[in-house]
Structure 1
Amino acid sequence: MTVWLGTTLVAFVLIIVLLMIKQFFWNPRLKSVKNKHVVVTGGSSGIGKCVAIIAAKHGANITIIARDVQKLEAAKNEILHACENKDVQRVEYLSLDIGANYENVEKALTDLEKTMGPIYMLVNCAGTAICGKIEDTTVDSLDKMIHINLLGTYYCIKAVVQRMKASREGTIVLTSSQASFLGIFGYSAYCSTKFALRGLAESIAMELRPYNVSVTLALPPDTDTPGFAIEELSKPLETRLISQTSGLVRPDVVADKLFRDALAGNFFSTVGLEGFILASLCSGMSPFKSIGELLLQAFLMGLLRIVGAFYLISFDNIVLDCLRTRDKNKKSE
């Protein structure tokens, strides 16, 4: 009996190890975007621009969407230089506030498809983060994040999804954040919009699967982008200290993983070990691509709950330490 239990345990551990090796090192077959139309919102900088550059290197025709025309023109030139075939590929930009009005978004994307061709891949990278405790977050800041992070993504998907369903092909990416897996001090408004994106992604994944349209939810960690630099300005001390427990990732690394996961048909796109842990721990009722992925998540969820608890305890300790320091400073004044 003891031998049987030992053999079973060894086999169990071996299966987990093999599944993890496959998860991190196996290169799946990717769909091609060559000569196809890829649209990237938030494409003038950061992760969005990096995704557009990668898609251009793979032979796609690119449209980037943002509001600032000068930044769009500069990004367009960078993307043109990255094109696999500069004589054939087209790169355009569209100045548009995607979160302001659905009718404007629908018309703009419909007109865009008439000139650039059907949208095969929509990558929603537009987003913003304004930090602050709930009592310190203004209604205007909340409204801004809802319109850019949630409504802007929702509007763009709604505007293109009917034509993707009709053609029975397409790829949709929603760029959320690791903050869609757990609430963090100082991110009450931001996390609310990012949690919403997960619900949106899971819902449309179920709606679109019969039409051969894949959905990927990208969950990047803190990424070294212009948007992150702005976010740092509004972070409470507690939020900054919690963020510093993880490293800062380059946007091209996030973009490359996002692009490959989307073309491989993966639902989650994460970067690094922490991203893998969070996606496994919080997989819940999310879509899965293979039995191997499902088994790995099922085997790891219980153990990772303990790992996650240690993270939560460390975050709570950071918050308490900051509170004690403030109280001590007040008493000494």
Structure 2
Amino acid sequence: MVVSPPSQAAAAVSILVIIVTSALYNMLFSRKWDPRGKHCLITGGSRGTGLALAILLAKRGAHVSIVARDKPRLDKGLEGLERVRQDPKQIFRAYSFAVDSETGSAAALKAAGEPHGGRCPEALFLCAGASRPGFFIDQTEESFMGGIQMTLGAQAFTALATTKEMVRQGVKGKIVFVSSILGLMSFVGYTTYAPGKFAIRGLAETLRSELKMYGIDVHVAFPATILSPGLDEENEVKPKVTLKIEETDSGSPPEDIAAGILRGVEKGSFHITMDFFGDIFRATAAGASPRHNPVLDILYGLIGYIALPFWRKSVDAQVIGHAVEHREYCHTKGYLS
């Protein structure tokens, strides 16, 4: 069957009307999620984005539990929550647990639920994780798997333990993963980090579908560079070429990242990005993922289609330009005969 030009035009107009109508409906009639009075648990909550998010949720009237390994930092974080208390009935707690296993995560959940009559949190924000950049050739099996554990493992097992408790207790809550813009693209230096962040997206995509059976919502955020103590630590070991590629990236403070994550959760967005460049990478990599604003995503996708190949070529040129220096590095390390 041959479709005539008028029929093609009519089909295009119909599709555009559907997209615009859907976008307007989402903007005007979607009910926003309100954290007030809800118990929110944040892993990686002792500093950086996790702590900023905890403080923001406390300001919105939520009950907040922060979980991390470092007890002194947790105690200091708890003081920060108390300073923004909105209601004397708000419950703020800090728990020192390692959450990169189901056992540790389940123990943290149990402890966090005790002040709430054993009920598990209604919202889980997964901010735990770390980056240790380096060249792939420098890795061992142990260091590579350690990187996966610091990224995917730091969030997946808490999500698993929480899912089981939410289902068991009938809690129709939220699970919010924090991936990275390096879960949408990557470049030299992030071989132990980006794979786990891509995997977090894959897990979130799967759980978004599966957990609909239980009324549990899933979100995944893709922040870019965060100006936090973690960034200072990773820059100490980051390859020179990676630092060079990133030299024009000014980064964002944890408070801005936290505000972007919460804004996306409140609006019900599945993929959450916080700035223009994040929106471009998200829109071009979205595939079949739900889009909160299809009209804007068409624009972002078009910009990405045109601009991102030039960006990638510039990154590749910098990597190739580093080849001679890297060869000397490999000689020093004994990788070359």
Q: Which residue of 1 aligns with 2:203?
A: 200
Match of 1:263 among 263, 266, 279: 266
Change (3 A) 1:137 1:78: same
Q: Which residue of 2 aligns with 1:109?
A: 109
Q: Residues of 1 paired with 2:328 and 2:154: CA distance?
A: 44
Q: Residues of 2 paired with 1:70 and 1:26: CA distance?
A: 44
Match of 1:83 among 85, 106, 112: 85
Match of 2:44 among 36, 42, 45: 42
Over the residues paired in the alignment, what is the CA RMSD in angstroms?
Answer: 3.4
The answer to whether the aligner puts 1:119 opposite 2:121 as a matched pair is yes
Q: Residues of 1 paired with 2:158 and 2:188: CA distance?
A: 30
Q: One-letter code of the match for 2:92?
A: V
Q: Post-superposition shift, 1:140?
A: 3.8
Q: Post-superposition shift, 1:83?
A: 1.8
- Relative to the length of structure 2, the TM-score reads 0.84
The answer to whether the aligner puts 1:240 opposite 2:243 as a matched pair is yes
- Describe the SS at the equivalent of 1:135: helix
Q: Which residue of 2 aligns with 1:321?
A: 321
Long gaps (5+) in structure 2: 1-5, 330-337
- Describe the SS at the equivalent of 1:38: strand
Q: Post-superposition shift, 1:27?
A: 11
Change (3 A) 1:29 1:321: same
Q: Residues of 1 paired with 2:184 and 2:128: CA distance?
A: 19
- Describe the SS at the equivalent of 2:322: helix
Match of 1:143 among 131, 142, 145: 145
Q: Residues of 2 paired with 1:26 and 1:46: CA distance?
A: 33
Moved more, 168-177 or 191-200: 168-177
1:30, 1:260 within 8 Å by CA — same for their partners in 2? no
Q: Post-superposition shift, 1:246?
A: 2.5
The answer to whether the aligner puts 1:280 opposite 2:283 as a matched pair is yes
The answer to whether the aligner puts 1:153 opposite 2:152 as a matched pair is no
What fraction of aligned residue pairs are identical, expressed as a percent? 27
Q: Which residue of 2 aligns with 1:311?
A: 311
Q: Which residue of 2 aligns with 1:128?
A: 130
Q: Which residue of 2 aligns with 1:62?
A: 64
Number of aligned pairs? 321
Q: Residues of 1 paired with 2:33 and 2:325: CA distance?
A: 54
The answer to whether the aligner puts 1:249 opposite 2:268 as a matched pair is no
Q: Residues of 1 paired with 2:250 and 2:129: CA distance?
A: 20
Q: Residues of 2 paired with 1:239 and 1:328: CA distance?
A: 17
Long gaps (5+) in structure 1: none
- Relative to the length of structure 1, the TM-score reads 0.85
Q: Residues of 2 paired with 1:190 and 1:27: CA distance?
A: 38
Q: Post-superposition shift, 1:303?
A: 5.1
Q: One-letter code of the match for 1:144?
A: G
